[in-house]
Every structure is written in structure tokens, then in C-alpha cells.
Structure 1
Amino acid sequence: MQILVFLLDNLFFVLVFASLLRAWMNQSRLRMTEQPGRFVMALSDWLVKPLRRALPNGLRQARLDWASLAAAALLALSHALLLHLLSLIWLPGFDWLSWVWSVPAQALLFLLRTVLQGLLAMTLVYALMSWIQPFSPIGGVLARLLAPLLQPLRRRLPLVGGVDLSALVLILLLQVLLLALG
């Protein structure tokens, strides 16, 4: 059971984060023809495209990518529902009616955890790329995506020996939020 839950968690993490990253990249007006845009589209097109067609015309033309956000929400709900169904199978006497409240709550927690873990991974990659290969294309994309989170920290933190520690502080803050969420 633990192996199956582990595999489901990781599969849905990748799918949900791809949908959220797609929305964020579209919001930031980043080109989806470069990495990680192509990878994100390959992972999320199967759900985002039909949702985009199903949305009312006003939402389709909005600045916010509602189809990608809806895809992330549907995937998180599917993840929570699958975990509940697994609990029904493996735990005799499990309360059938508990899913009414716990599935949406689990889906919301999964979405929040995915956002925090995804930001943590992106910040780690950004920090490493800025030290190893500062002018790489993925570094530029990550810099644009993480700028809204790093700029407030940069305004408050002084450079230490000419080194910007804002990414490291963001990593610590995200870890604290993940601990609080857990």
C-alpha cells in the first residue's frame, strides 16, 4: 500500500505542478516553445486543451490561464479521491461518508504542498544554476518566474561578500511552510 501511495503521490505531483507551472508561465508571458515550456505542455496538454475548449469564452480570453488552474484542481481532487478509494479497499470499516469533507480538504492540502515543493525545487535549481552556469537559458526562465518571490527578500537582505542569499532564504522559508503544512 505504501509503495502504491508513494507512486500516486509522485505521479500526481508532477502532473499538478506541470499544470500550475503552465498557468504561471502563461501569466508571466514566457514563451512555451523553450524549456521548461515544452515539457510542461507535453505533460498537461491532454487535460488543459479540452478544458480550454469547455470554458466560457470570457474565461478563455482572460489574462489568467483558467484551464491550467482547473486542470491542477481536477488532478488534485482525483488524487485525493484515489487515496480515499484505496483506503476503502485496504482499511475495513472505513467510513464511507468521510470522503464528503476530507477529499476536498486533502485536495487543497495536496495543491498547497505541490506549490511549496515545486517552488522549493525551482529555487534549488535556480540557486545551483546561478552559481554553476549563470547565463543558461533555464536560469533566465527561473529568474523571471522566481523574481516576484525573490525581489522582496533582495530588498531586505544585504549582499554578503558580494553573494545574493535571497534564494537560500527563500528555500528556508519554503521548508518552514512545508513543515507547518505537514
Structure 2
Amino acid sequence: MLYQIVSFLLDVIGGLLTGACLLRLYMQLQRIPFTNPVGRLVFALSDWLVMPLRRVIPPTGRWDMSSLAAAVLLQLAQYVLLWLVLGAGAGWTWLPWLALFGLVRVAVSGVTGLLIVYAVMSWMQAHSPLSDVIARLCEPVLRPLRRFVPLVGGVDLSPLVALVLLQVVMIVLGHLQAGLLR
């Protein structure tokens, strides 16, 4: 029971902070200004770790490597803490791989959340700075699907197709991670 509680709390906290670092990286890649509410939230959640790392890890082109490094470090810290709660037995060599799977899982979950918010906001026809940011973040994921998924009755089903594909990715990640732990 203690392991489940600690695991849940670490997933929530680690996922939120890792997601903020990954969103910071993604927003910079998409050249989305941070003057909107999403950008301010991302800065508030990630500045404490990204800014000190930025002094050591410079950006590479448009890639903010310090945000990526912060996300990896947060996931690694999460799995190290879980490993310590389990009793610090054997298996520490797999921690970097588990952190990598955790990082991908957080990224897929984040894109899934963005797509759900995008779909709901598109149904409501909400025009706000937040809806523009969400649309710009989802567009690179949806654009390739729109070439293959036609409008059905004037409704764009590409977000639904993307959500199904992302769930398949999550299932594959879960099986790969479980196989790693065996």
C-alpha cells in the first residue's frame, strides 16, 4: 500500500513537472510566445530547474536542451525514489531506461491531454488566446492525419484518430516497460 501511494504521488508530481519542461521545449520549437496563461504556467513550474541547467547546457539551434535535460532528470529522480522505496535491491541499472520510458509516457499523455482540450474547445467555438495556443500545439500532430482522414459530415475526426493512435502507443510503452522490469 505504501508503494502504491508513493508511486501515485511521484507520478502526479513528476508528471506535472516533467510535462511542464517538455511543454516548454515544445512551445519553443513551435515558436509560441510565453506571454499567454499556458506559457506563464510553464515558466512557473519549470524555471527553478531549467534556468540553472541553462547555465551549463546551451541550446542547440531551436532545441532548448536544458528543458529536455530537466525533464530527463525529473523522471530519473522519480524512478530513483521509487527504487529506494522498494528497498534498494538489485535492478538499479535499469533506472535510466525506466526514466526514458517515463519521459515518453509523459509526452504521450501530454499530447493526449492537449488533443482532448483542443477537441472540446473546437466544439464550443471558444475564441481566446488559450484556444489559439492549444490549436498551434496540436496542429503538428493533426496535420499529417488530416491528409488521410476526410471530414465526415463537416466534422474533423483527426483528433479522434490521433487519440486512438496515442492510446496504442501507450499500450506498447506499457508492455515494453513491463518487459524491461521482468
TM over 0.5: yes
Identity score, percent: 49
Correspondence 1:165 to 2:157: yes
| Post-superposition offset of 1:134 | 3.6
Amino acid corresponding to residue 73 of structure 2 in structure 1: L
| Post-superposition offset of 1:62 | 2.8
TM-score, with length taken from structure 1: 0.90
1:17 equivalent in structure 2: 19
- Counting only pairs closer than 5 Å after superposition, residues 27-38 of structure 1 correspond to structure 2 as 27-38=29-40
1:143 equivalent in structure 2: 135
1:65 equivalent in structure 2: 64
Work out the CA distance in 2 between the residues paired with 1:177 and 1:62: 29
**Is this contact kept in 1: 2:14–2:75, CA < 8 A?**
yes
**Is this contact kept in 2: 1:35–1:138, CA < 8 A?**
yes
| Post-superposition offset of 1:87 | 0.8
2:98 equivalent in structure 1: 106
2:42 equivalent in structure 1: 40
Three-state SS of the structure 2 residue aligned to 1:163 is: coil
Which stretches in structure 1 are left out of the alignment for 5+ residues? none
| Post-superposition offset of 1:133 | 3.2
| Post-superposition offset of 1:61 | 6.4
Across the two proteins, how many residue pairs are aligned to each other?
172
Work out the CA distance in 1 between the residues paired with 2:135 and 2:67: 22
Correspondence 1:76 to 2:75: yes
Work out the CA distance in 2 between the residues paired with 1:83 and 1:75: 12
| Post-superposition offset of 1:39 | 0.2
Instruction: Spell out structure 1 runs of 4+ moving beyond 2 A.
Output: 59-62
| Post-superposition offset of 1:27 | 1.0
Three-state SS of the structure 1 residue aligned to 2:154 is: coil
**Is this contact kept in 2: 1:120–1:171, CA < 8 A?**
yes
1:177 equivalent in structure 2: 169
Work out the CA distance in 2 between the residues paired with 1:134 and 1:155: 25
2:180 equivalent in structure 1: none
**Is this contact kept in 2: 1:48–1:67, CA < 8 A?**
yes
TM-score, with length taken from structure 2: 0.90
**Is this contact kept in 2: 1:129–1:136, CA < 8 A?**
no
Work out the CA distance in 1 between the residues paired with 2:136 and 2:37: 13
Work out the CA distance in 1 between the residues paired with 2:60 and 2:173: 34
Aligned residue among 112, 118, 129 for 2:121? 129
Spell out, residue by residue over 1:114-166, the C-alpha distance to the aligned partner (whole angstroms, 9 max, x if none): 01111111100010011113422222111111111101111111110001110
